[in-house]
């Protein structure tokens, strides 16, 4: 194993560690906080988190073993099962992000009727659709025997070893990425652009009211006026940064792998195995970034994390105080005798 392979193995191992800890923390927050569970987005987050955890404990270790061993890391049955999960979880992750963007679009565009339009039942139906949609392609791949170990990505995923099936496999791969990656990307762009448009409209209304207030307050200190204007600017930038993060992480993580899979179908462009593994690592890194992008940086999740931490520290303090009390009583008893 050369330095490139060692570096890729280290990157993959680090991604596994961050993904496991962050997604487990999101799951703990969902289990701990009833307020979070009562909201419809909790179902989308739960679906995304469970998929990320499954990818972390099944697909990533096998890919890491493939990078280290430079060969198929498991038997054919286990590899086909991992390839099935890899295809399903990738599509499910993309569609879950599209579902979250639709939820945010409804919340921003229809704030007064959001609870009526996005109930838990509606969210459950959307999750059920993402599962059926994501299951369709790996199920078809099982029938067509297009699941196995792909040396270019050192992982168990979609592949075809028969030259006479090249055209059919190319059409299948193109349809899969068009109806998962491209569809989700279009939904993300449409919904978040609409969200950004509405957010900027509300910001302009708030800015007008703020400026009218500042005009009326003639005796206001210049520093206060400057702080108000700076807050207006930050408010406009905040919405743009959030939406850029949602769409940007989606593209950075998934686009290299999808483009590589499509270019691979043409024999005209040779692809380095190091780039193939790196693009796969970038796709896996979405599982590590999702908890921070969609959950842990939100106020409710931060509050839940603090409550969990306080509870753990409280239990440890009780245990330590109990042990101290026992040792103290043991020291006192002989003296009393």
- What's the CATH code of the domain at 12? 1.20.1070.10
pLDDT classification of 200: cutoffs 50, 70, 90: confident
Evaluate whether residue 45 is within a structural domain.
yes
Evaluate whether residue 331 is within a structural domain.
no
Residue 147 has a pLDDT of 93
Domain carrying residue 29: 3-302
pLDDT classification of 215: cutoffs 50, 70, 90: low
Count up the domains in the chain and report the number: 1
Specify the DSSP element, H or E, that contains 149. Answer: strand 147-150
| 38 or 332: which leads in pLDDT | 38
Let me know: does 200 contact 239? Beta carbons within 8 Å: yes
In tens, the pLDDT along 113-144 reads: 888 888 889 999 999 999 999 999 999 999 99
The CA distances from residue 213 to 193, 201, 206, 228, 306, in Å, are 30, 19, 11, 11, 38
Burial class (CB in 10 A: 0-12, 13-18, 19+), 90: buried
Evaluate whether residue 280 is within a structural domain.
yes
Residue 216 has a pLDDT of 53
pLDDT at 70 over 80: yes
Lowest mean pLDDT among 157-166, 255-264, 327-336: 327-336
For the ranges 204-218, 247-261, 318-332, the one whose mean pLDDT is highest: 247-261
Residue 333 has a pLDDT of 46
Query: Across residues 169-183, what is the average pLDDT?
Result: 94
Evaluate whether residue 220 is within a structural domain.
yes
133, two tokens? 């949609």
179, two tokens? 């109806």
Evaluate whether residue 219 is within a structural domain.
yes
Evaluate whether residue 127 is within a structural domain.
yes
pLDDT classification of 265: cutoffs 50, 70, 90: confident
pLDDT classification of 26: cutoffs 50, 70, 90: very high
pLDDT at 332 over 90: no
147-150/155-158 β-pairing: antiparallel
CA–chain centroid gap for 169, Å, is 28
Evaluate whether residue 313 is within a structural domain.
no
Evaluate whether residue 260 is within a structural domain.
yes
């Amino acid at each position: 194993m050369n330095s490139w392979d060692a570096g890729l193995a280290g990157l993959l191992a680090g991604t596994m560690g961050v993904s496991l800890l962050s997604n487990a923390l999101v799951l703990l927050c969902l289990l701990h906080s009833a307020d979070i569970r009562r909201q419809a987005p909790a179902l989308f987050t739960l679906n995304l988190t469970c998929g990320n955890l499954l990818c972390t404990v099944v697909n990533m270790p096998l890919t890491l073993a493939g990078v280290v061993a430079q060969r198929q890391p498991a038997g054919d049955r286990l590899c086909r099962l991992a390839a099935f999960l890899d295809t399903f979880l990738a599509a499910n992750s993309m569609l879950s992000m599209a579902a979250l963007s639709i939820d945010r679009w409804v919340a921003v565009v229809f704030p007064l009727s959001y609870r009526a339009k996005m109930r838990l039942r509606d969210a459950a139906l959307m999750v059920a659709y993402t599962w059926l949609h994501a299951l369709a392609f790996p199920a078809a791949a099982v029938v067509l025997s297009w699941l196995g170990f792909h040396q270019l990505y050192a992982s168990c995923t979609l592949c075809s070893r028969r030259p006479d099936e090249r055209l059919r496999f190319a059409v299948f791969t193109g349809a899969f990425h068009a109806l998962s990656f491209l569809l989700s990307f279009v939904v993300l762009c449409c919904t978040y652009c609409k969200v950004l448009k509405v957010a900027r409209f509300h910001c302009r209304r708030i800015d007008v009211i703020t400026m009218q207030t500042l005009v009326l307050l003639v005796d206001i200190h210049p520093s206060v006026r400057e702080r108000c204007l700076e807050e207006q600017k930050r408010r406009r930038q905040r919405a743009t940064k959030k939406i850029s993060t949602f769409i940007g992480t989606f593209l950075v993580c998934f686009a290299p792998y999808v483009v590589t899979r499509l270019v691979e179908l043409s024999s005209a462009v040779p692809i380095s195995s190091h780039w193939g593994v790196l693009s796969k690592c970038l796709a896996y890194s979405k599982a590590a970034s999702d908890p921070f992008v969609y959950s842990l940086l939100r106020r409710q999740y931060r509050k839940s994390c603090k409550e969990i931490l306080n509870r753990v520290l409280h239990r440890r303090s009780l245990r330590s105080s109990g042990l101290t009390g026992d040792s103290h009583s043991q020291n006192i008893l002989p003296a009393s005798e």
